Structure 1
Amino acid sequence: MENILGYCQPGNFDKKVDLPPPPYDAAITQNTEPLELPLSGNLELSENDVYEALLNHVSKFICYGKGVVKEMIIIKMEQFYAYRHSLETFTENRQVCWSYEPYAGGHIDGPLMKQCYDPWEITVDPLRQFDRHNVKLIMPHTEMLQACPDCGGAGRIECAFCHGKGKMTCNTCNGSGYTFGFSGEDRQMCVHCFSGTVTCAHCKGKGIHGCSICSEAGEIKCYVQLIVHWNNYTDSSLIEHSSDIPKDILKKATGELVYDEINDRIKPIRYLLGDKENKSVVDLINKHIARYFSKAKPLAHKQRIQRIPITKVTYVWRNSTNKFWVFGNEKTVYAPHYQQKCCCGCTIQ
């Protein structure tokens, strides 16, 4: 770091150095009073809702029979809830590197003016929260002048195509000054060059051209560039009671948004339910902190909780007892043991 922010000769332009973020104090989260989240409201389905959901499900399959839906007798409906907890953190990373630009005159804010700041001491506000973007700026008191490394301070460099001669070999006559007919005997003077050489098109015969690095100024202004990156990191977990619905199916469902807030610190959330849900929230927060906060500075946190309704339906059809589940705002049906399936397999319409 001293070699970059100290005052040695600049070099390795654009070689970026990652700056570790300030250490995160986990006690800030641990000592924050948990938010009590009362989950009130009734999301239970009626029998008509259940019949309609199962009928819609069966109608998607060509080979499924609808007799079960029309003839079944519902004997029990049980209500459960699953919870999707998501935690998104808006973070900041910083890098520094030597950079330069042509010197066009003016004041040089160098190290003799004032001691250079630590990169994390400079206040840089994001343009938008929870939006990935970056900004670049010059670190105060790091500017210095240097002779242009490309032209040595001359402002002009030798043409690389003609090597400073201003002339190049004619491609038409290959430098002989003459062209020949098909028989090789009809020698004529080359009408393109008349001499075997042509004026270099790149430098227009001057043998030199203006230096593009310093814009012909002969000097460049070097400085330490600060690059600030803002990024988002997200973790989520699905918390459920024993509903017997496979998790990969249940995770596609949506539910009622019961919590949606942005805070400058992570607030643990305590459901008014049981230890399992509360532990899942704490586990997600701890995993999130361990995964991201050592490599990025957290600025803001967005937490969301969805409550996903699940209805377990037990029914009788032709003296056979069976069950299925209806879940989510979509009223998706999970019926792995539906009795009227065709053995040849089905396709979804």
Structure 2
Amino acid sequence: LAPVGPIPCISEEVAREAFKDYASSNCCYSNSPAEDGVITSLEPHNTYRYRLETFTESRSTDWAHKPHKGEAADFYTQPAPQPWQVQVTPPEMFTNHTQELPVPYTSTIKVLHQICHMMMTFVCVCVCVCVCVCVCVCVCVCVCVCVCKECYVCHGTGKTETGDCGRCNAGRESCSSCNGQGTEDCETCEGRRQLMTFIQLKVEWTNHLEDFLAQQGGSLTAKELSSVTGKELFKGAQNLVYPLLGFPDPAIAQASERMVQEHQAQYLQTSRILQQRQTVELIPVAKVGYKWKGDAHCYYVAGNELHVTADYPDTCCCVIL
């Protein structure tokens, strides 16, 4: 890579307009520092940003089930493929995505507990003491007890001034589980008595992004500059990239070598690297010194977006109603 010439520093007018836009975008900031402050200095603090992206795919399996709705089981058809033998189409490169799908030839049909042959639903029994007992008889037998509520319209009398209570008719509200119907479908089998069990494959595509900032006198961090862009000097993508050992700035060359080695060593242990991408940008950064009410202050204007970072000297306490 050939050496890159310096980016001209922004003008005083551009710096002032960026500061005004910054102040007006914050409801708790007074416009006075941006409008009345006197700019005293403009210093370029341009910096290189090296970015490495490693796009990986990982796979895991677990047992899953769903209500059987007549589908044919395929467990005995042929041997099931291994997780990495299942054909899955990856999404667009360098975008995070998760997909779950059944592994072929792993599905079986399981008939639930013997009691479930007789009862495919919960049985709700309301006894005289107004305690509703719901017995789940699908996979296991469990008891859920809930106290029936007194009707808030008739206060448990079953009567109102105009006659019978139109809400409950009996002084008590219906069971909250079965709504007075006496039965409720099993949530596991949906009342079908059978489950289809299978091995579920979970595929995760993850873009691991890391930045390195070659500071040149500025005080902005890589996080503060993460949302801005600059002049792109280099961009390359491969299955496995090579470090930029010939870059003119030694700090970028060293960071590239270190990060490439770390990414490949770390992510190849638990996943597959589908592609890597590395870029180098020259980020324009200007440090603007100004005076307001006799005190010296400064702010930074960075990137093509003219993003401002400042410790603003005139703020107020806002209350959002």
Shorter chain as normaliser: what TM range?
0.5 to 0.7
Question: How big is the alpha-carbon RMSD for the aligned residues of Structure 1 and Structure 2?
Answer: 4.7
**1:115 lines up with 2:58 in the alignment:** no
Aligned to 1:93: 58
Contact 2:49 2:282 in 1 (8 A): yes
Give 2:165's aligned residue: none
3-state SS in 2 of match to 1:226: strand
1:157 lines up with 2:121 in the alignment:
yes
Give the TM-score normalised by the residue count of structure 1.
0.56
Q: Contact 1:154/1:218 (CA < 8 Å) preserved in 2?
A: no
Contact in 1 for aligned 2:218/2:287 (Cα 8 Å):
no
Q: Name 1:315's counterpart in structure 2.
A: none
Among 96, 99, 102, the alignment partner of 1:132 is: 96
Indicate how the Cα distance of structure 1 residues 250 and 38 shifts in structure 2: closer, same or farther if over 3 A, else same.
farther
1:294 pairs, out of 269, 282, 306, with 269
| Consecutive unaligned residues in structure 1, runs of 5 or more | 1-36, 70-76, 182-190, 309-327
The more displaced of 246-255 and 128-137 is 246-255
Report the equivalent of 2:218: 245
Give the C-alpha shift of residue 63 in structure 1: 5.5
Contact kept in structure 2, 1:94 and 1:229, CA below 8 Å: yes
When structure 1 is superposed on structure 2, of 140-149 and 220-229 the one drifting more is 140-149
Deviations 1:32-56 (A, max 9, x none): xxxxx3345x4454xxx67x44994
In structure 1, C-alpha distance between the alignment counterparts of 2:60 and 2:85, rounded to whole Å: 13
Once the two structures are overlaid, the 10-residue window that deviates more, 137-146 or 271-280, is: 271-280
**Which deviations, in whole Å up to 9, do the C-alpha atoms of 1:46-98 show, x marking residues without a partner?**
xxx67x449946995845476x89xxxxxxx9x99632110112222222221
In 2, distance between residues paired with 1:333 and 1:204? 68
1:279 — aligned with what? 254
Q: Assess, with a 3 A threshold, how the Cα gap between structure 1 residues 154 and 81 changes in structure 2: closer, same or farther.
A: same
Structure-1 separation of matches of 2:148 and 2:254:
80
> Structure 1 residue 179: deviation in Å?
7.7
CA distance in 1, matches of 2:114, 2:207: 41
Deviation at 1:213, TM superposition (A): 2.6
- Structure 1 residues 130 and 65, CA gap change in structure 2 (3 angstroms): closer
**Percent pairwise identity:** 19
Give distance in 2, aligned partners of 1:169 and 1:248: 61
| Partner residue of 2:238 out of 253, 260, 263 | 263
Whether contact under 8 Å (1:63, 1:345) holds in the other structure is no
- Aligned partners of 2:122 and 2:186 also within 8 Å: no
What is the number of equivalent residue pairs in this alignment?
A: 255
Shift of 1:344: 3.9
SS of the counterpart of 1:159? strand
Gaps of at least 5 residues in structure 2 are: 20-32, 127-132, 136-146, 161-167, 298-311, 315-321
1:307 positional shift: 2.2
User: Whole-Å Cα distance in 2 between the matches of residues 88 and 300 of structure 1?
Assistant: 8
Contact (CA 8 Å) 1:65, 1:341: kept in 2 or not?
A: no
**1:83 and 2:48 aligned:** yes
Question: Take 1:169 and 1:56, find their aligned partners in 2: how far apart are those partners?
Answer: 70
For the 8 Å contact 1:84–1:306, the answer to whether it is kept is yes
Helix, strand or coil: the match of 2:124?
coil
- For 1:200 and 1:81, the matched residues in 2 are separated by 70
CA contact (8 A) 1:90 1:300 kept: yes
1:270 deviation in Å? 3.1
Q: Which amino acid counterpart does residue 265 of structure 1 have in structure 2?
A: L
Query: Take 2:185 and 2:110, find their aligned partners in 1: how far apart are those partners?
Result: 18
- Letter of the 2:275 counterpart: A
Bigger Cα displacement from structure 2, 142-151 vs 297-306 = 142-151
Match of 2:287 in 1: 333
Matches within 5 A, 1:1-349: 37-39=1-3, 42-43=5-6, 45=8, 52-53=11-12, 56=15, 60=34, 62=36, 64=38, 82-110=47-75, 112-149=76-113, 152-154=116-118, 156-162=120-126, 163=133, 192=169, 207-240=182-215, 243-246=216-219, 248=221, 252=225, 254-273=229-248, 275-308=250-283, 328=284, 332-333=286-287, 344-346=295-297
Give the superposition deviation at 1:301: 1.7
Aligned residue for 2:301?
none
Q: Larger Cα Rg: Structure 1 or Structure 2?
A: 1
Letter in 1 for 2:124: A
Change (3 A) 1:345 1:80: closer
Report the Cα distance in structure 1 between the residues aligned to 2:149 and 2:282, rounded to whole angstroms. Answer: 79
